[in-house]
Amino acid sequence: MSLTASRATVADAGRTGVPGRVPVLTMGVEEEFLLVDRVSRAPVGRGPRVIAAAGRTLGPLVQPEFFTAQVEICTSPTTDAAALRSELSGIRAEVIRAAATEQCLLLAAGTPVVPPERPLTVTRDERYRRMASRFPWILGDYDQAVCGCHVHIGVDSRAEALDLANRMRSWLPVVQALAGNSPFDRGRDSGYASWRAVEHARWPTVGPAPVLDEAAYERRAEELVRSGTVLDRRMIYWYARPSEHVPTLEIRVADVNARIGTVVLLAVLVRGLAATLRAEAAEGAPAPAPHSARLREAHLLAAVHGLHGDGLDPVDGAPVPAWTLVARLRDRAAPGLAASGDSGLVDALLEEVRTEGTGAARQRAAHRRHGRLSRVVDSLVEAVAEG
């Protein structure tokens, strides 16, 4: 994905009083999906054939993931929310068609709802095989795949990506809470809104990014690789990180979500926040420094509760209703949202989540209605196809 920062700016019309001009940045999305058998609804390793079929139309926009039961899609860089929605819809539709030829369905859930019937197979990729060999205790019985949604924001430099990552740390638990979509894990209710967050954290470096400038980042990355903590720099899985292969800041806290509206909401909201904070940085405003322990607790509460109940203010440590934190994030991102013309869109999409629930809430509602996990899978598959 080739994402670069847009040079367009508009006068600040937001509510937080950021002086000067607020940029309109490019954004893009990566989504990881599970492939499940259309009869058993269990994950199946048919990814290579599905990717080959979809790739004839999509090319590099569809790619393999760690397990053959997964497939990843990525969008082109854009400054337009409608264009992002349209591309997501088209890519998903093409992958759904390819999956149907292999008698499987495209599932947008952070963890498998129905357990696999046999151990999952690692994709035939040298890097993935090396990861499996180096970290066998993480893979366990090869029955767990996690699927996330990563938002990329175009930047001009690695230094800018790191500065934005530093400034966004305290807001990422709220983004995580909005995106929770993995309450069920291999046949059981985990009790979490995002069990993916727990499973993914088994990998080294998963968690809030440390506060680093470019020189410190280079030292830390080199040490992580040299010590064997990670295989390579691409395994630095901080919640906000500079991409190693495209000029972007990558936000990695979200579960994959079935509804395209939720995905667009996450991308536009993150982009609006980044634009606001970028303008503040240009004016010399200092970056906040939330306590690391509080930040981790805020992420834990987001994983457990999603938007139901309290979250945590990572600055003062006070419990705060999750929806109050969402409102604060919306207000914080206001200048950036106004700059891109997305204020009304975000308000409408947030109201949709408030009315109809997060992905996790909708999964549990489907289970209460039907009493079968297979119907939970069906509800997710249908939502993916509605794009």
**Model pLDDT, residue 4:** 38
Alpha carbon 321 to its chain's center: 22
- Helices marked H in the chain — which ranges? 47-58, 81-101, 126-134, 136-139, 158-168, 172-179, 195-200, 214-226, 260-282, 292-305, 322-332, 334-340, 343-356, 359-370, 373-385
pLDDT given at position 22: 87
- Three-class SS state of 311: strand
pLDDT at 26: 98
User: Average pLDDT, stretch 367-374?
Assistant: 97
Question: Range with the lowest mean pLDDT among 7-11, 105-109, 231-235?
Answer: 7-11
Whether 182 shows a pLDDT value over 80: the answer reads: yes
Compute the residue count for the chain.
387
What is the pTM assigned to this prediction?
A: 0.94
- Res 353 pLDDT > 80: yes
Confidence of residue 60 (pLDDT cuts 50, 70, 90): very high
Q: Phi/psi class of residue 253: alpha, beta or left (left: φ > 0; alpha: ψ in -120 to 50)?
A: alpha
Residue 175 has pLDDT above 90, yes or no: yes
DSSP 147-186: -EEEEEEE-S-HHHHHHHHHHHGGGHHHHHHHH--B-EET
pLDDT of residue 134: 95
- Residue 316: what pLDDT? 85
> In the 8-state DSSP scheme, what is residue 256?
P
Q: How many CB atoms lie within 10 A of CB 315?
A: 14
CATH number 3.40.50.2300 given to 9-385: no
Question: Within 13 Å and on the Cβ side, how many CA atoms surround 106?
Answer: 30
Pairwise CA distance, residues 158 & 161, whole Å: 5
pLDDT (0 to 100) of residue 9:
31
Q: What are φ and ψ of residue 82, in 5° steps?
A: -65, -40
Mean pLDDT over each residue of the chain, to the nearest integer: 93
Average pLDDT rounded to a whole number, residues 247-265: 98
Q: How confident is the model at residue 332 (pLDDT cuts 50, 70, 90)?
A: very high
Q: Rounded distance, CA 304 to CA 309, Å?
A: 10
Residue 186 has pLDDT above 90, yes or no: yes
pLDDT in the model for residue 12: 30
Strands 104-107 and 184-185: unpaired
- Whether residue 307 contacts residue 322, with contact meaning beta carbons closer than 8 Å, is answered with yes
Q: Which amino acid is at 161?
A: A
Q: What whole-number percentage of the chain has pLDDT above 70?
A: 95
pLDDT of 317: 86
Closest by Cα among 282, 287, 162, 249 to 214: 162
CB count, 10 Å around CB of 229? 12
> Domain ranges in the chain?
9-385
* pLDDT (average), residues 134-162: 95
- Write out the two tokens for 231: 């295989």
Beta carbons within 10 angstroms of residue 349's beta carbon? 22
Q: Which residue has the tokens 């322990």?
A: 293
Question: So what's the pLDDT on residue 20?
Answer: 52
pLDDT of residue 8: 36
For residue 17, pLDDT beyond 70 = no
Q: Give the span between the Cα atoms of 95 and 178, in whole angstroms.
A: 25
Q: What is the pLDDT of residue 314?
A: 82
Q: Among residues of the chain, what percentage have pLDDT more than 90?
A: 88
DSSP β-ladder status, 310-312 and 319-321: antiparallel
Which tens digit of pLDDT belongs to each residue from 108-145? 999 999 999 999 999 999 999 999 999 999 999 899 99
Give the closest residue to 86 by CA, choosing from 249, 350, 263, 336.
263
Confidence of residue 5 (pLDDT cuts 50, 70, 90): very low
Q: Give the pLDDT mean for 243-257.
A: 95
Q: What is the tens place of the pLDDT at every residue in 188-214?
A: 999 999 999 999 999 999 999 999 999
- Distance from the Cα of residue 276 to its chain's centroid: 20
What are the tens digits of pLDDT across the range 290-322? 888 999 999 999 999 999 999 998 888 899 999
